[in-house]
Structures are given as C-alpha cells and as structure tokens.
Structure 1
Amino acid sequence: MNDGVFNELLESVQQADGIIKGQNTAARITEFAEPEVKAIRTKTGLSQSRFASLLGVSKRTLENWEQGRRQPTGPARALLKIVDADPEHALKALHG
C-alpha cells in the first residue's frame, strides 16, 4: 500500500473515531424507514399464518412486527422490501 492510500485510510479512521466520541458530526446520515409489515401483507392478500409461513417466521413474530412491538431485521427486512416492491413476482418466486 502506498503512503497516499494509507494516509487517506488513517484520516478516515480518525474521523470515524471523532464521530463516535461525539467530537465531530457525521457529514451525512442515512435513515431507512421501518417497513409497514401489515400494509405489505395486505398487498399480498395472504392471512397472517400464510404470510408468516412464506417468510419463514412464526405467526407470533409477524404479529409483533405488525403491532410495532418489534421490527424485522436482516434477511427478513430485505425480503419484506422485495415483497413490497413486487408482490406478484416475489410470491411467485417464494412459492417455487
């Protein structure tokens, strides 16, 4: 690694450290809206049980998401985003 690249990386790490310690503010903050799980399920026309099964989660987990007690994370969140964007094709793909 050449000195220029190393110095850029070092500066980035120092800036991140300052942000974490509250000494600096981030240049940009990206926020993602929480998925509206009930609205997404409604688009599919599926019951809670069928939709939960399709996503590979328990009905209770789905209920917690829909009622705002919990929020989906990781792969479940990504899958919900896909279903929201194109319910017809997402369901077709998931049904195999």
Structure 2
Amino acid sequence: MSSLFEDLKEGLEEAIAYEKGYGAGRVKTYMILPVKEYSGKEIRDIRTKAGMTQSVFASYMGVSIKTVEAWEGGRTHPTGPVFRLLDILSKNEEMEYIVAK
C-alpha cells in the first residue's frame, strides 16, 4: 500500500505527462469517513486510557483544563477537529506523550 504522499506525487507526475500529450488521464478518489461524536464519558475514557491527566490532555487538544472538564461533564461538546483527534487517540493503544516543563 502506498502512502498518500506517494499517491499525490504519482498523480501530479501523471497530470504533467497528460498535459504534455503523453498517456491517458485517470481519477483516484479518497473517501473521508464521517467524524464520530464522543460523549463526555467516552472522552474521559479515552483520556484515562491514554494515561493523561486533564492538564496534559488539555495541552494535547490545545484547549484549557476548564474546557476538558466541561466536555467530560457533558456541559459543552467539542467541535469536529477535536472529534478527529479523539478518534485518532482512541485507536492508538500505545500512546506516548511528553510533558513539557
């Protein structure tokens, strides 16, 4: 299986060749799966499974500790980009993190 970068590079090379009159054009389509929305309990479970405190998790997500508390308490809900990060984090069983001091 090739990487996305390799696919894009190959596609650009084919497009250049096609514009110069060599070869035939082709189409490759990528499907983006819908974003899963997580509940407050699921967010807390993902955070604890990753071994993160609320403080570290807030830094990882780029939000305040109060925001993480509100998510986990169900008072507010994250937006799409955070759900993507949660999805990635939930599937990464060997998550390692570094706490900057």
Normalised by the length of structure 2, the TM-score is 0.53
Q: Which residue pairs with 1:44 in the alignment?
A: 50
Alpha-carbon RMSD: 2.5
Q: Which has more helix, going by share of residues?
A: 1
1:68 aligns to 2:65 (yes or no): no
Q: Which residue pairs with 2:84 in the alignment?
A: 78
Q: Is the 8 A contact 2:55 2:65 kept in 1?
A: yes
Quick one: structure 1 residues 56 and 87, their matched pair in 2 at CA, closer, same or farther if it must change by over 3 Å?
A: farther
User: 2: distance between equivalents of 1:59 and 1:34?
Assistant: 18
- Correspondence for 1:56 among 26, 44, 62: 62
Quote how far apart the aligned CAs of 1:87 are: 4.2
Quote how far apart the aligned CAs of 1:71 are: 1.3
User: 2: distance between equivalents of 1:87 and 1:73?
Assistant: 23
Structure 1 stretches of at least 4 aligned residues deviating more than 3 Å after TM superposition: none
1:34 aligns to 2:32 (yes or no): no
User: 1: distance between equivalents of 2:37 and 2:46?
Assistant: 14
Q: Which amino acid aligns with 2:88?
A: I
Quote how far apart the aligned CAs of 1:64 are: 0.5
Query: How many residues are matched?
Result: 64
Name the SS of the counterpart of 1:88 in structure 2: coil
Q: Which amino acid aligns with 2:55?
A: S
| Structure 2 residue runs without a partner (length 5+) | 1-33
Normalised by the length of structure 1, the TM-score is 0.56
| Structure 1 residue runs without a partner (length 5+) | 1-29
Q: Which residue pairs with 2:29 in the alignment?
A: none
